[in-house]
Amino acid sequence: MDRVPVLKLGDILIVSIQIDLQDQSVLALQEDLADKVVATGARGVIIDITAVEIVDSFIGRMLATIAAISRMLDAETVVVGMRPAVAITLVELGLSLGGVRTALNLEKGVALLNHLEGSRIAAAVQ
């Protein structure tokens, strides 16, 4: 089974999915990420799916679960780079990925996390 590598950049964890995902790889990634968030104290997780050709209900549920777990561990998750065909298919499938933040690409994903962190600090100051 292939494991998806988790990269750390500052206080953000970056996962770039480059393989055709098997269900076990998906579950392994879910565990790896939760462990890493706690170990590194990361404040954000970015999952790059630019290379992913399909997202079915299993992978969609994995994305939502990762976002929920990370939020519990005080990190925001952003899914970036979803292809138009994948997005259209997900809508048709009836999957909304509720609670998952999205951005067009990695750069905008990082900007979104920084923006969220900014408003978090602003809220703390008040």
Nearer to another protein, 42 or 63 (CB): 63
Applying CB under 8 A, which of residues 9, 38, 54, 68 lies at the interface with another protein? 54
CA–CA separation, 33 and 38 (whole Å) = 9
Closest approach of Cβ 18 to another protein, in Å?
14
Locus of tokens 């954000």:
44
Strand bridging mode 76-80 / 101-103: parallel
Applying CB under 8 A, which of residues 9, 38, 39, 85 lies at the interface with another protein? 85
Binding residues with another protein: total (CB under 8 A): 40
Residue 60: both structure tokens together: 């969609």
Applying CB under 8 A, which of residues 88, 114, 119, 120 lies at the interface with another protein? 88
Other CB atoms within 10 A of residue 56 CB: 13
CA distances 63 to 16, 43, 73, 119, 126, Å, are: 13, 17, 15, 24, 33
Nearer to another protein, 41 or 71 (CB): 71
Nearer to another protein, 15 or 36 (CB): 15
Closest approach of Cβ 41 to another protein, in Å?
26
**Could you give phi then psi for residue 96, rounded to 5 degrees?**
-110, -5
* Chain residues that interact with another protein, rule: CB under 8 A: 20-24, 53-58, 60-61, 79-80, 82-97, 101-105, 107-109, 112
